[in-house]
Structure 1
């Protein structure tokens, strides 16, 4: 999609995670550094007002205020001025799908709790007020308790409090979650013991008399109460005495009856957090109770939440917006259209969207592309050897003692999610489907239970995160995916009758109301299909990314956001086709390799790709390591924790994340403190992996015995306070893999920075990024060290000594040099990269399969990029033999990475191309 008139794409972006420790001021301080690096735009994480203590900013409580923990208006002004001084633009990560709830900070949420459906903000949140459960009729579930409601009540975890400044009452859970009391119930609290309070109590009790102005009347009465308390100590004492009525004695349930009865009258039902799986009646972000979904299709809500961000586009503060979790919105295309139309001028717009392998980004969305997950997996696949797949599958199954297809793992994981954490949402959908079915005699016998089975089996086999049915005629793409899922679900043994699936298929495509006089409500059918889509996405995310990806550990470098662990490798031809398609249709698509959400950093994956080339050696190593570690622990049978699948994951994490500076260092030379710190990182990643897998332990119910045993296993393996046979066996292999990973990492870096699209650098990834799953990938970045190293790189480039940095590759200077030089070239020849042709260059010769090469050309400006792939098979000093790469027309070329001149011709020998560095970036000079 060509940019609209007046719109330009960023040259390259640099993503920064803002939080209380790294706010506007510290971001402003690195503006000159990232400008020197060569990017054009800061790409900031959300910085609108979030829940206190937020480490990521996605739990927004006010879209029109800055997060005070990140900085005030003055600090933000200083940041924007620092960016302008350094000729940097800004892109913001914006969160329209949900808000942070709970606590005491979200005014809209608190109003909904206080007034229920009468709140002016009730329509902003996706709440199912008409529940089939009598105890939730007209109420909103508040599942924030850490134990059963009765246990929390009798222990004093729920307390009625009075706010003397606002004249209001609220029940507080643990002193942190504010649950406002209905103003109509203030009379119950105030009582009739004090004449002035009795008068106000009566007025509060009869608020309905003030309709439709009861909210304003209640506010006036609260102010009267606050004024009275402020001036009358006797009134304050009387209120304290009344509050005592609602307090009981720990362990004596009957003494808490007054508070229990008051709670029972409210617009909310406070409950144990595990109750959410069955009773939740507001849409969440995935299964996170503290993030409540917004109805962004409501025009008023859209206008209110986008006021500040659109003003920042208008005044030039922002050049672009990244939309978080676009699939969470009920109508993504409609949302993007409204956003573009509401802006006063064109701006860069990308969306966070995960595409299935067969899925294409919708070309009728007015956007510039995705945030690039699909590119990360496409590029990574180049370094995975498909010839090793069968052997890898056999060795994995042999080591863990079972053989299971990834497809089966995904289906089982999705079903588990629908039967546990997200059961309530499916129950609601089933009941809605049953109501629609009952509206027509032809389908009146389709019960909620039967439809529940059909919907569950259909979603378990859904091939994409969601479809985009919106009330118009469904697209062929949507029909294809719905039809495929239904056809697969029909095959389930002992499943519902085929006529049920016929109904579900027509319901999801809205074919039920395609013709007039259908007997069904067009609005109800369309709304159901759209709500179904909002459910299938989170189930896929939780079932695939957050369960199956932690259960299926064949080669975890493939278990990445937007990845496909069952697809082993990408051909060079497929890589070129995808790049050509992006150049034609989505030149503004973001290109990423690491994000705040990736499960392993780009260079961690680069190492693990190497294993695909050596399945036999990998198997020997794993078997040896396992024998050594289990023998030391007296587990000869190999039955003690960790189980074999977790153990297999552990070895991959160890190889991928092993610190570069410790590569080649003997065990006895490693500082114990350094190894302890590394061990804790591994423990954190393993603990999260095990809990997400939900096999031996979970977040909701941690298995402390199993987790403790695994932690002990890890610390045993990494103990350098004694002779360690495991490390002695592990480190030589690690050094070999790390060297291959270094080559893969440099190749990835150069590809990302030169392919069609907008390359993004995640904070700190200009050096080696050997991170694991969050929070490991969100650790603080040492920018002083990077400044110093960049100065060294600039000096090396100036004197033509870039290649010498390869000898000290462990410090990351060589990756920084490749990054800096490629970005500098993008700055010099912007048209060649933004709008230039993408020309695949097919290598020839004995090692042609090990080379990826292409040209970017615009007019007389031509750039040639060449990198190796499957470097493990080449050895440390590759013999390229007769392998060569064709060159476009040009008499002389200069390698911008080494500074060397290359004489042109029809082709160049790869041995010459990679003589000094394993990657090449040529520019035509004549």
Structure 2
């Protein structure tokens, strides 16, 4: 069989993220595909729509990767959506979740099988379970931290109920029926057996059948059995026994009554603690141990997604797990229904590079048309590896990874992906709208307001340690025991105590500068060596009381510097520890940084977003260009975005708050005055002011950023106030200072909500709103122009621009679940229809002027996106494979523009966008347009770019002129009518 035509990845020109759930289905998506195509989108980028827990609004709580989510739609409606995409020539990227599954759902049949059969379950190896944990009482068991209180209290309150259904027994734990291990059915069926026998003659068939069933149960292989033949026998026989028992109950009502009465007895009686002994004894025999949810912090023995008990990690490094969980995905790829994937939380995988290489190889085989395991499969694999030798970066499938890159960090070069999902671009592009020169002023304003000096690096360090103490101590303890076992093997290290190893591991993780490293063999990447040595060095400096030799030992293990005399088995143990360590540093960083420190440090909250480091005050234009050049060189088709479902604030909220950086004196004056006005609205609890000063500082910035545009009726205002209150409850709990998710302080939270009600009261007696509105209106105007600039830069910089659902209009969303509310697509479809009709009537130039005058409705952003995305889709060369050339401006306003050229083939496009517009607009109704604003400033053009241009945004004609021998465009002319420009040669 000859080699197939080598498939090449479908590269999107622009993606649009859709959140699928019961409220937004395949049918709903089908209805808007035409609109998205008209907008200029090339690919729908879908959240996971594989089977998830009932009621899931995000799809990440997957229960079965092999079927579609029935709440989102059936095969027919899915097919209709795919056909509509095909009709418009659009691609389809699917968010795939390889890390974890939801285990608080009976629909997760693999996990339920594990709970029924323990180590003998055919799916026991699917989940990352430690069957021999440090706590010996859990040997061979799974800790299930599902209870809302101590186990004994829940049991004696009747919170755990035995059930009998279709021949099988379950324990009902809240809404979840958990299977009972079949051999332990004997404890139920043999209870009061004599009373049943008395109801039948000695040799009665029902009694004999029940005794035969009991014999079958007694001979079932144990749940600890791992011999494949015995496991198969157990699986087969237990199902036969259930069917026999259920049939017996149908044939002999007396047996059904007997079992029902025993179930009632086992379920005990409230007020009689001894009556629960039978159920307690039964539960002690299970392959799981039900416990209070707080126990998970220290004793959990299955790996979780971060610290979420309901999400258990799966062992994707196991080929059997990989094959089964990807079966549907590869079927959809083979059929052309899915043209790309987004891999969720790639850092959670045991071995990311091997997984990604496996993914591309599997996609290649599917795209070549061979069935998995079918004839020609081995030939396809051989051809794939030959192609890899010719093209080391060959990727048959467009794949991006959700990966947070810290400052200066790059994706590992051996990863066969198009790039990341764009968090680093989000923070870089947002940062150029922050005035970096105002950093020290904002330090002083913040420190003075909150009456203390915050050091962001110290906050992150402390919060990472807090997370390891209150959420992930079990994971750290597990690592310490593994390291202790390694230490015991060598006489030079065996004297290290377990406690010293726990502390060393915690301190190094707290000092880790990136989310994780990627050692998967005997060698460690140079970059990873630097990260590990930096973390160990910092941990030693910050902890002089801990012996430096303990840190050195940990460093050597992480760097795989085993002694010459080490056995092969010892070397494998070192590598296993290093790879497990890598899986823990990411969750600690995420929980400590994103979900704690970001809610504590409020100097300028627009910088507190996923992938950002708000200790750094903004981004220089030079740094922004540098990132773009790097991306264009290494990952030109990476996703770049400005909002995601994980964003802490929507892009249009951030641009408003960014503008504060240009107005430090006004901000200081305003926030101090607001605080004096609102002093009487706060409360005093245990001699503490509520809200505290730091929380109050957060509230004012949040209100400035999220305040709705235009007028609001009472219902709209009430809805906004409710959203702000919901946000503040989340912020308080994430900060873990005055409340938390683990121990909510309802008294404190209620006082904060009361403060919000007071300052947002619409009455003449509330001077705050009167004082607040002028600055809010000014920031709103600044934010509009910055949002336009940010959108243009995203659509033209190296990479594939991604739009989060609804953000084609100005949207003032906060962190989830606020940013996952249903989008009004009817309004957007109608708005685009009206814009296109109006454009045909009066032209793009006049329409832009009109839309800027009506800025509150956000349609100018929609029009900009429509114009540029459609142009990009028709003229892909400069964007897909073009050069990126940073451009300079000269003149009084040169720092207020970001510009670059995209050169592809014979065409050079010029991109220019206004920035830092607040200082260009002294009054709320101003615009950063015209000669008065831009004065003598010119944009210098690259040679050979031409002299006459058309601005794609509004069809305006622009001419260059010679300045000191160079071609240049006066910004007064370029930005005379709109503050963004995409110029093509006329």
Same fold (TM over 0.5): yes
Does 2:936 align with 1:894?
no
Does 2:708 align with 1:659?
yes
Higher mean C-alpha displacement, 245-254 vs 452-461: 245-254
Q: Residues 227, 327 of structure 1: CA spacing in aligned structure 2 closer, same or farther, 3 A cutoff?
A: same
Residue 233 (structure 1) aligned to one of 228, 244, 253? 253
Per the alignment, in what secondary structure is the counterpart of residue 660 of structure 1? coil
Where does residue 173 of structure 1 map in the other structure? 173
Residue pair 1:672, 1:721 contacting (<8 A) in 2 also: no
Q: Residues 416, 633 of structure 1: CA spacing in aligned structure 2 closer, same or farther, 3 A cutoff?
A: closer
Distance 1:803 1:860 in 2: 32
Where does residue 112 of structure 2 map in the other structure? 110
Distance 2:788 2:271 in 1: 63
Distance 2:820 2:71 in 1: 17
> Map of 1:274-673 to 2, 5 A cutoff?
274-343=294-363, 344-345=366-367, 346-512=396-562, 515=564, 517=566, 521-632=570-681, 640-662=689-711, 670-673=712-715
> Map of 1:719-758 to 2, 5 A cutoff?
719-758=761-800
Residue pair 1:560, 1:599 contacting (<8 A) in 2 also: yes
Distance 1:202 1:808 in 2: 81
Distance 1:75 1:861 in 2: 43
Distance 1:635 1:188 in 2: 57
Aligned-pair CA distance for 1:232: 2.2
Where does residue 182 of structure 1 map in the other structure? 181
Q: Residues 804, 709 of structure 1: CA spacing in aligned structure 2 closer, same or farther, 3 A cutoff?
A: same
Per the alignment, in what secondary structure is the counterpart of residue 490 of structure 1? helix
Residue pair 2:683, 2:690 contacting (<8 A) in 1 also: no
Does 2:212 align with 1:199?
yes
TM-score w.r.t. length of structure 1: 0.96
Per the alignment, in what secondary structure is the counterpart of residue 934 of structure 2? coil
Aligned-pair CA distance for 1:5: 6.0
Residue pair 1:112, 1:122 contacting (<8 A) in 2 also: yes
Distance 1:230 1:763 in 2: 53
Residue 810 (structure 1) aligned to one of 856, 860, 866? 856
Residue 814 (structure 2) aligned to one of 761, 772, 781? 772
Per the alignment, in what secondary structure is the counterpart of residue 690 of structure 2? coil
1:855-884 Cα distance to aligned partner (Å, 9 max, x none) = 111122222111111111112355211100
Does 2:314 align with 1:253?
no
Distance 2:255 2:519 in 1: 59
Distance 2:332 2:686 in 1: 64
Aligned-pair CA distance for 1:526: 0.7
Higher mean C-alpha displacement, 129-138 vs 155-164: 129-138
Per the alignment, in what secondary structure is the counterpart of residue 208 of structure 1? coil
Residue pair 1:187, 1:202 contacting (<8 A) in 2 also: no
> Map of 1:847-886 to 2, 5 A cutoff?
847-875=893-921, 876-878=926-928, 879-886=933-940
Aligned-pair CA distance for 1:634: 8.1
Where does residue 973 of structure 2 map in the other structure? 912
Where does residue 665 of structure 1 map in the other structure? none
Where does residue 96 of structure 2 map in the other structure? 94
Where does residue 390 of structure 2 map in the other structure? none
> Map of 1:31-180 to 2, 5 A cutoff?
31-164=33-166, 167-174=167-174, 176-180=175-179
Where does residue 211 of structure 1 map in the other structure? 230
Distance 1:319 1:46 in 2: 14
Per the alignment, in what secondary structure is the counterpart of residue 670 of structure 2? helix
Q: Residues 637, 661 of structure 1: CA spacing in aligned structure 2 closer, same or farther, 3 A cutoff?
A: farther
Per the alignment, in what secondary structure is the counterpart of residue 54 of structure 1? coil
Could you list the runs of 5+ residues in structure 1 that have no partner in the other structure? 663-669
1:446-467 Cα distance to aligned partner (Å, 9 max, x none) = 1221100100000000000000
Does 2:838 align with 1:836?
no
Aligned-pair CA distance for 1:493: 3.6
Per the alignment, in what secondary structure is the counterpart of residue 183 of structure 2? helix
Residue pair 1:187, 1:200 contacting (<8 A) in 2 also: no
Count matched residues.
911
Distance 1:89 1:423 in 2: 43
Aligned-pair CA distance for 1:6: 2.0
CA RMSD of aligned residues (A): 1.6
Residue pair 1:439, 1:519 contacting (<8 A) in 2 also: no
1:207-230 Cα distance to aligned partner (Å, 9 max, x none) = 139935122111111111122122
Distance 2:749 2:831 in 1: 40
Aligned-pair CA distance for 1:803: 2.4
Q: Residues 494, 582 of structure 1: CA spacing in aligned structure 2 closer, same or farther, 3 A cutoff?
A: closer
Residue pair 1:863, 1:923 contacting (<8 A) in 2 also: yes
Where does residue 666 of structure 1 map in the other structure? none
Where does residue 27 of structure 1 map in the other structure? 29
Aligned-pair CA distance for 1:831: 0.9
Distance 2:849 2:565 in 1: 72
Per the alignment, in what secondary structure is the counterpart of residue 312 of structure 1? helix
Q: Residues 299, 635 of structure 1: CA spacing in aligned structure 2 closer, same or farther, 3 A cutoff?
A: closer
Where does residue 667 of structure 1 map in the other structure? none
Per the alignment, in what secondary structure is the counterpart of residue 55 of structure 1? coil
Aligned-pair CA distance for 1:133: 1.2
Could you list the runs of 5+ residues in structure 2 that have no partner in the other structure? 1-5, 197-206, 223-228, 368-395, 962-966
Where does residue 203 of structure 2 map in the other structure? none
Residue pair 2:682, 2:752 contacting (<8 A) in 1 also: no
Please list every run of at least 4 consecutive aligned residues from structure 1 whose deviation after the TM superposition is greater than 4 angstroms: 632-639
1:726-765 Cα distance to aligned partner (Å, 9 max, x none) = 0000000100111111111110000001111000010000
Aligned-pair CA distance for 1:314: 1.2
Per the alignment, in what secondary structure is the counterpart of residue 443 of structure 1? coil
Distance 1:394 1:361 in 2: 36
Distance 2:948 2:482 in 1: 69
Distance 1:178 1:539 in 2: 32
Residue 793 (structure 1) aligned to one of 835, 839, 853? 835
Q: Residues 785, 153 of structure 1: CA spacing in aligned structure 2 closer, same or farther, 3 A cutoff?
A: same
Per the alignment, in what secondary structure is the counterpart of residue 598 of structure 1? coil
Residue pair 2:20, 2:47 contacting (<8 A) in 1 also: yes
Residue pair 1:797, 1:898 contacting (<8 A) in 2 also: no
Aligned-pair CA distance for 1:439: 1.4
Residue pair 2:684, 2:690 contacting (<8 A) in 1 also: no
Per the alignment, in what secondary structure is the counterpart of residue 221 of structure 2? helix
Per the alignment, in what secondary structure is the counterpart of residue 402 of structure 1? coil
Q: Residues 608, 254 of structure 1: CA spacing in aligned structure 2 closer, same or farther, 3 A cutoff?
A: same
1:810-829 Cα distance to aligned partner (Å, 9 max, x none) = 10110001100110110121
Residue pair 1:102, 1:178 contacting (<8 A) in 2 also: no
Does 2:723 align with 1:681?
yes
Per the alignment, in what secondary structure is the counterpart of residue 795 of structure 1? helix
Q: Residues 858, 638 of structure 1: CA spacing in aligned structure 2 closer, same or farther, 3 A cutoff?
A: farther
